Amino acid sequence: MHDSLKFPFSSEDRLEPEDAARALKAVEALIAGYKERFAVLVERDNKGHSIIHEPVVDYLTELRWVLEDMHPADLAYVLEALPLEDRLLVWDQVKSTLDGAVLLEVNDSVRETLISSMDRAQLVSAIAALEAEQIAELAPDLPRDVVEEVASSMPLQEREQLRAVMSYPDDCVGARMDFEMVTIRDDVSLEVVLRYLRRFDELPDHTDQIFVVDRENIFRGALPLQKLLVNEPDRQVIDVMHQDVLQLGPLDDVGEAAQAFERYDLVSAPVVDAAGKLVGRLTIDEVVDVIREEGEEQVLAGVGLREEEDIFSGLWNAVKNRAPWLLLNLLTASFAAFVVSRFETTVEKIVILSALMGIVAGIGGNSGNQTMTLIIRALALGQVTPSNIRRLVQKEFLVTGFIGLGGGLIAALFAWTLSRSITLGLVMWAAMMLNLLVGAAMGLAVPIIRARMGYDPAVGSSVLLTFATDSMGFFIFLGLASLFLL
């Protein structure tokens, strides 16, 4: 049966975007074959027959073959998509030389499961093969002594690089930079540069420019490879190099650096310290990761998830990830319920209010969330400035007021249909309008104030908003009803 399985791709085939998905299918089929056969064998054994090991081993051998030629990123993809038990079966078959590279590619929670399945020696040998900045990336998930053992056996320069990267906060350029750059002096000809480059076996990935420094390693400029290639070899570096290159500081915010990469379509940028010394470089692959992470964080934060969840992560991890936000929502919902309970006599007399009040609260929250999402985005792009904030506020209230007029009318008609009371309809209309304005006010104020105070405006803002629109929605609607209908 399993002979019909095609190896997902070989180097003669063309690589395609769907390759990883095909590899996953092949791996799943092999694991299924392995498990099935294994189960059959165990059954036979219970009946007293002897165990034939070979067919099972066959599946594992073929699995190893499949895994052997896979790109570490594809392996990471396959491991992420497998349930824990299958994941560890596959992980045991991965060649140990790839271990470090795969650990770099998998997401945090899968990385945890893989690392906890490895012993100290395996970890040390997996990590030792990596570059300083890669080790720094894995360090938070590794046992402290493993990192130290690896560091102690590194050359002095790399050890210092490792310390440097690990010393910067996670959201700084310094924590994301690498050190694999080619540097030259400015007083040589392109011919000399070309000869110098031929002494390399290969250039670091994403080398689109060579950095020009002086004797003290002070950054002078950059020589794009394309300039090196289109200019005559007898020209001097100083005449050809670019001096107005985007330079990053190690403490620059990495999100802002990413925006600069996007704006100027960069592939790499030098990282230069306060003294003007070239200390590293940031490359587009890290920037792509940053952009992806930022997008995901915002999506996850929107529903109160603190981190990406391994879809097969343990029950306890998943509960820990999700419960705090739900608990917070439970508290705010309870407060809203408390508000309603204060209007017990009103609701007792006009029961239909209990059906209608949820509409007022809900739409206020929905509309406020729209406002808030747009403001968070404008804040992230730096489009909210002291001089335009008044117009922004004006516009939001106008739009919301307009929507409130229309939406409130529909809600009022619905209220009238249920109750046949024109006064109740008018109360509904007024309450909708007012609560939509509460939503707009909160949608504007919460992210702007949080950003001013230095917090990430995306996280937790929607809980605060819903808290306000729920409680205020009930209060406004039931309050108006008490005034005009009792």
Among the listed residues 42, 218, 319, 483, the single contact to a second copy using CB under 8 A: 319
User: Which residue is it, tokens 């619905």?
Assistant: 414
Looking only at residues 376 through 395 of this chain, which bind a second copy when binding is defined by CB under 8 A?
Answer: 377-378, 381-385, 387-388, 391-392, 395
Q: Which is nearer to a second copy, 289 or 456 (CB)?
A: 289
As a whole number of Å, the CA-based R_g of the chain is 30
Q: Is the dihedral of CA 350, 354, 358, 361 positive or negative?
A: positive
75 to 114, contacts with a second copy by CB under 8 A?
A: 77, 80-83, 105
466: left (phi over 0), alpha (psi -120 to 50) or beta: alpha
Q: Which residue has the tokens 């108006």?
A: 480
Residue 450 makes CB contacts below 8 A (sequence gap 6+) with 456, 457, 461
Q: Which is nearer to a second copy, 147 or 266 (CB)?
A: 266
Q: At closest approach, how far in Å is the CB of 333 from a second copy?
A: 4
What is the footprint of a second copy within residues 213-232 (CB under 8 A)?
Answer: 225-232
Nearest to 420 by CA among 478, 338, 350, 324: 350
234 scored as a contact of a second copy (CB under 8 A): no
Considering only 126-134, 144-152, 154-162, 370-378, which stretch makes contact with a second copy by CB under 8 A? 370-378
Identify the DSSP state of 204.
Answer: P
Q: How far is CA 217 from the centre of its chain?
A: 35
Give the amino acid at 333. Answer: A
Q: Which is nearer to a second copy, 11 or 50 (CB)?
A: 11
Residues 19 to 38 in contact with a second copy, rule: CB under 8 A:
20-21, 24-25, 28, 32
Interaction of residue 403 with a second copy, rule CB under 8 A: yes
* Of 267, 426, 445, 485, the one binding a second copy by CB under 8 A: 267
Q: Which of 208, 214, 273, 456 binds a second copy (CB under 8 A)?
A: 208
- Least distance from C-beta 206 to a second copy, angstroms? 7
Q: Which C-beta is closer to a second copy: that of 298 or that of 423? A: 298
Q: Nearer Cβ to a second copy, position 418 or 426?
A: 418
As a whole number of angstroms, the distance between CA 330 and CA 337 comes to: 10
The Cα 252–Cα 154 span in angstroms is 28
- Binding part of the chain for a second copy, among 15-23, 90-98, 157-165, 447-455 by CB under 8 A, reads 15-23
Place of tokens 């007792």: 348
Verify binding: residue 7, a second copy, rule CB under 8 A: no
Distance, in Å, from the CA atom of 134 to the CA atom of 202, rounded to the nearest integer, reads 19
* 337 binding a second copy? (CB under 8 A): yes
Residue 171 in the binding site for a second copy (CB under 8 A):
no
Closest distance between a second copy and the C-beta of residue 363, in Å?
6
478 backbone dihedrals φ, ψ, rounded to 5°: -70, -35
Please choose, out of 116-124, 138-146, 162-170, 257-265, the segment that lies near a second copy by the rule CB under 8 A. Answer: 257-265
Contacts with 422 (C-beta within 8 Å, 6 or more apart), sequence order: 416
- Taking CB under 8 A as the rule, does residue 175 contact a second copy? no
User: Can you tell me whether residue 223 is helix, strand or coil?
Assistant: strand
Q: How far apart are CA 296 and CA 381, in angstroms?
A: 17
